Amino acid sequence: MLADIPAGAENPLSFALSRRDQNVTQMVAEAIKHKQVMLAYQPVMQSRAPDKVAFYEGLIRVLDATGRVIPASDFMNTIENTELGRQLDTLALGMGLRALHENPDLRLSINMSARSIGYRQWNRTLDRWLSRNGMIAERLILEITESSAMTVPELVVDFMDRLQIEGICFALDDFGAGYTALSYFKDFYFDVLKIDGQFIQGIATDPDNQALTAALVSIARHFDMLTVAEFVENKQDAETLIELGLDCLQGYYFGAATTRPYWLGNAAAKSAV
């Protein structure tokens, strides 16, 4: 029992969590140092033509010391508020912009934290690629999570205003996971609304989530935002979401993220990571 821990001794759970976070931080730092970072690409499908891709999402991955591909969900919460988080955002942006430059038919979304808005290297990377290829902007979507956007809403609004003039689109990611004041929709003008997976998984048999998702779709339509359902994992959920009027669907039912997308010239080697 915790009451039996001597005064001044560290809680075993806190110690374990601290060690875990240290290990995660070290793993990410080593991956960045040795350039063991990549993007995995997941298709986002058109609901009216589920065999056609609307765009791809580029998801950051790192390699650990054994060569395993580690998804962002295993490390992002630990490093998001640190310098490593800014470095990963910059690397993801650079890789995504290079893919857009090399593939004129590609439309791609890249995740970023609102904390990277003022990060000099991130902005330099964006400016350098836009100067090199002015056609990239109209095919780039920047995804900002709801929780991140709410940390500095005024800064996000100004940032979006400046870059939307360049043709860049913005997506509000994981919508519904946090507590966004709906009044912010008047100011934000996001182009895309990605509905959090907690409302999507199992929606075919969940009337409550059907009602909530329908309400979110209605809000998005009012503000002229494209809607995307995340974590679509089976046919029944996909059909329900199409009936509810979602514009796009994303999830394992349509395709897992892959580090070997077709434009790298080896479609047969696609592998989920």
Confidence of residue 264 (pLDDT cuts 50, 70, 90): confident
Give burial (CB, 10 Å; 0-12/13-18/19+) of 110. buried
Q: Tokens at residue 271, please? A: 């592998």
Residue 90: its pLDDT value, please? 98
Give burial (CB, 10 Å; 0-12/13-18/19+) of 223. middle
CA-based radius of gyration for the chain: 20
Q: Tokens at residue 169, please? A: 């689109």
> What are 193's strand-pairing partners?
172, 227
Residue 151: its pLDDT value, please? 84
Which amino acid type is present at position 83? E
Q: Tokens at residue 11, please? A: 């809680």
What is the set of domains in the chain, with CATH numbers? 2-269 (3.20.20.450)
Instruction: Say if CB 57 and CB 72 are below 8 A apart.
Output: no
Interval 199-214 mean pLDDT: 97
Query: Is the confidence at residue 270, as pLDDT, over 90?
Result: no
Query: Is the confidence at residue 173, as pLDDT, over 80?
Result: yes
Average pLDDT, the chain: 89
Report the range of poorest mean pLDDT among 3-12, 93-102, 259-268: 3-12
Which of helix, strand or coil describes residue 65? Answer: coil
- Which of 13-17, 22-26, 210-214: highest mean pLDDT? 210-214
What is the pTM assigned to this prediction?
A: 0.89
pLDDT tens track for 61-113: 999 889 999 999 999 989 999 999 999 999 999 999 999 999 999 999 999 99
Query: Is the confidence at residue 222, as pLDDT, over 70?
Result: yes
> Residue 104 and residue 186: Cα distance in Å, rounded?
33
Percent residues over pLDDT 70 in the chain? 88
Cα distances (Å, whole numbers) of residue 22 to 17, 75, 77, 156, 250: 9, 11, 13, 30, 33
Interval 141-155 mean pLDDT: 89
Query: What is the maximum alpha-carbon separation in the chain?
Result: 64
**C-beta neighbour count of 77 within 10 angstroms:** 12
> Residue 212 and residue 3: Cα distance in Å, rounded?
44
Q: Tokens at residue 254, please? A: 């349509």
Q: Tokens at residue 32, please? A: 């960045």
34 CB-near residues (< 8 Å, 6+ apart)? none
> Residue 13 and residue 1: Cα distance in Å, rounded?
12
Q: Tokens at residue 125, please? A: 């990377």
Query: Is the confidence at residue 53, as pLDDT, over 70?
Result: yes
Residue 198: its pLDDT value, please? 93
Residue 175: its pLDDT value, please? 85
Residue 265: its pLDDT value, please? 67
pLDDT, greater one: 166 or 147: 166
